[in-house]
A and B are shown apart, each in its own frame.
Chain A
Amino acid sequence: EVQLVESGGDLIQPGGSLRLSCAASGFTVSSNYMSWVRQAPGKGLEWVSGFYSGGNTYYADSVRGRFTISRDNSKNTLYLQMNNLRAEDTAVYYCARHAEQMNYYFDYWGQGTLVTVSS
C-alpha cells in the first residue's frame, strides 16, 4: 500500500528555517517523480517544488532561492528545507507522488504538515 507521511511542521518566526520530511512506503521514492504542494489558509493549492528524474529539481518562483528539495534514497524519504521563512509561507504542506513514474498528475498525497510563520 502506498503511503506518504509528512512531518516537521511547526510554529517558526519569520526569517527562521525548518525542514519537512515525507516518509514513503509501498514504493521507491528514487524511482518516482515527487513534489511538495501547499495550501495557505483560505487559499488554493500551490505547487512548491519537485524532484524529478535525473535528480532535476524545480521550484515555484515564490520559494526559489529559499527552499531546497532533496531525498534520501536509503530512508525512502523526501525533504523540503525551508530557509528565510516569511509569513506568506504559512500553509499546510503536502508531499505528493506523480503518477506513472512520469511528470504527470499527482496520484498519492500525504496528510499534510502545518507550517506557521509568525512572531
Chain B
Amino acid sequence: DFVMTQSPDSLAVSLGERATINCKSSQSVLYSSNDKNYLAWYQHKPGQPPKLLIYWASTRASGVPDRFSGSGSGTDFTLTISSLQAEDVAVYYCLQYYSTPPGAFGQGTKLEIK
C-alpha cells in the first residue's frame, strides 16, 4: 500500500514570502510508459470542499494562480507558493493516484500566516 508523508505538519510563513510543502511517497508514482507522475495537490479550507491545485505533479489546474507550482518526480514532491497571500491559509494535501484505487492522501500540512 502507498503511504504518503508530508512535511512539515504545520508551517507559518510571512505574507509575501515563499512557502514550501513536501510530500514523500513510499513507492514511486512515476509511470514509466507515459513518463507521468501520478501525484496531485489540494487546498482545503474550513467549510469548503478540497480544491484541486496541481495534477500530474506539476500541471496547474484551471484558475489556480501562478504563484502555486508543483515539482518533483518518483517519490519526492514539492508544492511551492512563491509569495504567500492571506487567502492561501489552508490545509494542503498531496494525493497519489498511481494505484487502483487511488486515494492515498498525505496527512496534510496546515499553512498559517506568521
Task: Determine whether the beta carbon of B55 is less than 8 Å from that of A105.
Answer: yes
Task: Determine whether the beta carbon of A104 is less than 8 Å from that of B50.
Answer: no
B108 proximity list for chain A (CB < 8 A):
44-45
Task: Determine whether the beta carbon of A50 is less than 8 Å from that of B50.
Answer: no
Interface residues of B (CB under 8 A from A): 38, 40, 42, 44, 48-50, 52, 55, 61, 91, 93, 95, 97, 100-108
Taking the nearest CB of chain A, how far is it from the CB of B6, in angstroms? 9
- Given contacts A47-B102, A98-B97, A110-B49, 10 further A-B pairs with CB under 8 A are A35-B103, A44-B91, A44-B106, A44-B108, A47-B103, A47-B104, A105-B52, A106-B52, A107-B55, A111-B49
Nearest residue (CB) in B for A37 is B103
Task: Determine whether the beta carbon of A103 is less than 8 Å from that of B102.
Answer: yes
Taking the nearest CB of chain A, how far is it from the CB of B64, in angstroms? 12
B93 proximity list for chain A (CB < 8 A):
44-45
B38 proximity list for chain A (CB < 8 A):
104-105
Nearest residue (CB) in B for A105 is B40
User: Do most interface residues of chain B lie in helix, strand or loop, or is the interface mixed?
Assistant: loop
Interface residues of A (CB under 8 A from B): 35, 37, 39, 44-47, 50, 52, 58, 60, 94, 98-99, 103-107, 109-112
Nearest residue (CB) in B for A36 is B103
Nearest residue (CB) in A for B49 is A109
Known contacts A44-B108, A45-B44; decide if A103 and B49 are in contact (CB<8 Å): no
Known contacts A45-B44, A45-B108; decide if A103 and B52 are in contact (CB<8 Å): no
A52 proximity list for chain B (CB < 8 A):
100-101
Query: Could you show 5 A-B contacts with beta carbons less than 8 Å apart?
Result: A45-B105, A47-B101, A103-B100, A104-B97, A106-B95
Interface centre among A39, A60, A104, A105 (most CB of B within 10 A): A105
| A109 to B49 Cα, complex, angstroms | 6
